[in-house]
Amino acid sequence: MRDAVTNLIRNYDISGRYLDRQAMDSLKSYFESGTARITAAGVINGNAASIVKQTSAKLYEEVPELLRPGGNSYTTRRYSACLRDLDYYLRYASYALVAADTNVLDERVLQGLRETYNSLGVPIAPTVRGIQIMKDIVKAMAADAGVDNTNFIDQPFDHMTRELSEVSV
C-alpha cells in the first residue's frame, strides 16, 4: 500500500527531479492534516459497527424494496452480505484516509467489483448510496470529535462512488 508521500517521491524519482515547491507544499499539507486524518480513522475504528448499522438503517429507509421478497437484501444471507460489504468499504476508506491516497481502494476493493456485482445481479445504485451515507455519518462523527475541516473525508468515499457508478457522481 502506498501513501501520499511515497507516491509523490516515486513520481519525482521516476522523472529524475528534485522536490520542487509544489512537492514541498504537498508534503506540508499532508503532514499538517495528519492529526485530523488519524482522528477520522480513530472515529471509524471506534464506531465501525455503529456506522454500518446507521448506514444500513438509512439506506433501507430510503430504499425499502431491498428488504422485500425479490429485493437484493431479502433473506438473512443477502442482508448479512450487504452489511459485510459496507463494513469492507468503511475499513478500506479508513486506510485511504490515513494514507491520503486512494490507491489501496483501487488495488484491494474496486478492481473488477462493478463487473462482479453486475454478474451477480447486485444493484450498484444502492451500494453507491450506502457509501455516500457512510461518508456523511463519518464526517458528522469526525466533526463531533473536533475535526474542524472534514472535507478530506470526501476523497475515499467519493472515489469509491465514482468508480462504482456508471455515471459520474
Give the tens place of pLDDT for each residue, 72-97.
999 999 999 999 999 999 999 999 99
Is there a contact between 137 and 56 (Cβ–Cβ < 8 Å)?
A: no
pLDDT of residue 68: 96
For residue 137, give the amino acid letter: I
User: What CA–CA distance (Å, rounded) separates 92 from 13?
Assistant: 27
* For residue 167, pLDDT beyond 80: no
7-43 residues labelled b (16+ CB within 10 A) or e (exposed)? ebeeeeeeeeeeeeeeeeebeeebeebeebbebbbeb
pLDDT of residue 106: 92
User: What CA–CA distance (Å, rounded) separates 42 from 36?
Assistant: 10
pLDDT of residue 145: 98
* For residue 166, pLDDT beyond 80: no
* For residue 169, pLDDT beyond 50: no
Domains of the chain: 1-32 (no CATH), 35-164 (1.10.490.20)
